[in-house]
């Protein structure tokens, strides 16, 4: 059974701090790892990672995948209150018909 | 990308009743999924909605409880039947174009 573990479960920081969120996984026939941001109900897509060592970057957010050690990190620099959300990691296996297995998420709170 | 319209946005229902959630996409898509997110939990896949055939359910979910329709490539419905308070969750539909996109979700509370 596929397994996705995120840490920490929750995190409180102050504006301007840098945070690192972790995602480790166990999946047979790995295809991709995805990061989503969930603020209210709908998860919004952040990154999709398929290759080791290649950093994906979008503004203050960046992510990288290590397929040897089976983990990914999501970095947020210069955090803002608008970054407060649950960050979800999900993995997809080959031949899964696009099904995703999600981790439990990291709840990030950014204080002014 | 895909624009997904999901409704209702939220509802409060009495136990024993049923609620049908609709999901409309702005383009034809092959794969549509229905997820449940119980309070404080992550997303769990309920089923894959297949066009022209019965939905494929994940372990722990059955058609009698969560009947799904997929009449065409842009629309699907999920019904939560004979509801109990344990069904209080966020229900999300998603579609796959190049990546998986999610609808805005339906927050269901069962009294």
pLDDT of residue A112: 94
Calpha distance B45→B110 (Å, rounded): 20
- Residue A40 is given by DSSP the state S
Q: Which residues of A72-93 are buried (b: 16+ CB within 10 A; e: fewer)?
A: bbbebeebeeebbbbbbbbbbb
Q: Decide if pLDDT at B1 tops 80.
A: no
The alpha-carbon gap from B67 to the nearest alpha carbon of chain A, in Å, equals: 19
Q: What is the mean pLDDT of residues A42-66?
A: 94
Mean pLDDT of A38-48: 92
Local confidence band at B108 (pLDDT 50, 70, 90 cut-offs): very high
Q: Which residues are CB-contacts of B59 (< 8 A; sequence separation ≥ 6)? A: none
Binding-face residues of A in 47-106 toward B, CB within 8 A: 48, 88, 90, 97-100, 102-105
* Residue A9 in contact with partner chain B when CB distance is under 8 A: no
Categorize the per-residue pLDDT at B99 as very low, low, confident or very high, splitting at 50, 70 and 90. confident
Residue A2: the pLDDT is: 86
For B42, which of A42, A44, A104 is closest by C-beta distance? A104
Which pair of structure tokens corresponds to residue A27?
């999946």
> Using the beta-carbon criterion (under 8 Å), do B33 and A99 form an inter-chain contact?
yes
Q: Measure in Å the smallest separation between the Cα of A45 and chain B Cα atoms.
A: 7
- Taken as a whole, chain B contains a residue count of 111
Residue B93's Cβ-count burial label (10 Å; 0-12, 13-18, 19+) is buried
């Amino acid at each position: 059974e596929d397994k996705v573990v995120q840490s920490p479960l929750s995190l409180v920081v102050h504006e301007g701090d840098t945070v690192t969120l972790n995602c480790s996984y166990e999946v047979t026939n790995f295809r991709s790892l995805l990061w989503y941001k969930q603020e209210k109900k709908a998860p919004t897509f952040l990154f999709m990672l398929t290759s080791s060592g290649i950093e994906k970057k979008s503004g203050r957010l960046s992510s990288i995948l290590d397929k040897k050690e089976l983990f990914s990190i999501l970095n947020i620099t210069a955090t803002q209150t608008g970054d407060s959300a649950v960050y979800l990691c999900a993995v997809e296996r080959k031949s899964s018909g696009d099904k995703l297995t999600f981790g439990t998420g990291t709840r990030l709170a950014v204080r002014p | 990308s895909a624009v997904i319209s999901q409704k209702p946005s939220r509802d409060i229902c009495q136990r024993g009743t049923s609620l049908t959630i609709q999901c409309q996409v702005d383009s034809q898509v092959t794969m549509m999924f229905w997820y449940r997110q119980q309070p404080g939990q992550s997303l769990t896949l309920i089923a894959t909605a297949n066009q022209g055939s019965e939905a494929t359910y994940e372990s722990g979910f059955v058609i009698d409880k969560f009947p799904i329709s997929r009449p065409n490539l842009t629309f699907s419905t999920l019904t939560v039947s004979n509801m109990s308070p344990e069904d209080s969750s966020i229900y999300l539909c998603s579609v796959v174009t190049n990546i998986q996109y999610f609808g805005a979700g339906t927050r269901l509370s069962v009294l």
